[in-house]
Chain A
């Protein structure tokens, strides 16, 4: 009887471990995904260049938008033209405010 009990305990333990690993997998994957996302956001930048038709902002993934004198989004950044030669922007790679 004791060998049956031992076998049953072992079977339960193995099943529990397999179930725990299966349950953990989405969480483990989401942790890696979040880490990858944080890394990509930490590198997200923007640039500004004049063209004949005005000042333009260039964000990643080929996102381009004309700069206005009111804030607007460009990709994952906010930017606007402060004066003739300067833009103010905030991007995911910027340091936290405050």
Chain B
């Protein structure tokens, strides 16, 4: 009689222990799984003396941003609205942000810390069948630019301007009026002209 009872008790204890162990493991895997699906991307660019920080949720698990870590060692607390797939959140900081901590909206105790990606500079490309014209430094006088060759045209203006001459498949020559810069350019290049106003000997513009 004692043997079956002992057997049953042993089985109950064993099953309970395995059940508790599996439950603990299940809780752990749930935690790791949810953490693995938090996919924040944080980026920063310098802007007007400050830093412009953006955080986007590239995944499908919603999260909130809890903290921003700065390069000086300090942190900024944040408690944003939940960001869902492809939603952005922006802020400006005076110190360089280096990491952000985001926490799951579903289970706020599950968090990840994401590094903030830094910035680069890149040239804005010019199509191979175009010439990019940049006129800088306009102020007190008007200027005009005429081009001829594979493409022809003229522009008169009194402000900074950037424009494309397109299409061009060969060299273009320039006639400058109140401008300093190159006299010709090839397709795919950038030409920069600086406004060079004639001396006015201190006279007001209406007496030049």
Contact = CB atoms under 8 A, between A and B. Distances in A.
A20 B41 contact: no
B118 interface: yes
A94 B119 contact: yes
- Most chain B beta-carbon contacts within 10 A, residue among A12, A24, A27: A27
A91 B43 contact: yes
Contacts of A33: 36-37
Contact of B98 (A12, A46, A98): A98
Nearest to A86: B121
Contact of A87 (B56, B124, B134): B124
Interface residues of A, number: 54
Given A31-B32, A51-B164, A84-B136, 12 more contacts: A16-B18, A23-B25, A23-B29, A33-B37, A34-B39, A71-B54, A76-B56, A88-B45, A94-B119, A96-B118, A97-B96, A97-B115
Interface of A: 1, 4-5, 8-9, 12, 15-16, 19-20, 23-24, 26-27, 30-31, 33-34, 37, 41, 46-52, 55, 67, 70-71, 73, 76-82, 84-98
12 contacts: A23-B26, A27-B33, A30-B37, A33-B36, A48-B124, A49-B126, A50-B130, A51-B127, A71-B90, A87-B124, A88-B46, A98-B118
Interface of B: 3, 7, 10-11, 14-15, 18, 21-22, 25-26, 29-30, 32-33, 36-37, 39, 41, 43-47, 52, 54, 56, 58-59, 71, 88, 90, 96-98, 115-127, 130, 132, 134, 136, 162, 164, 166, 190, 192
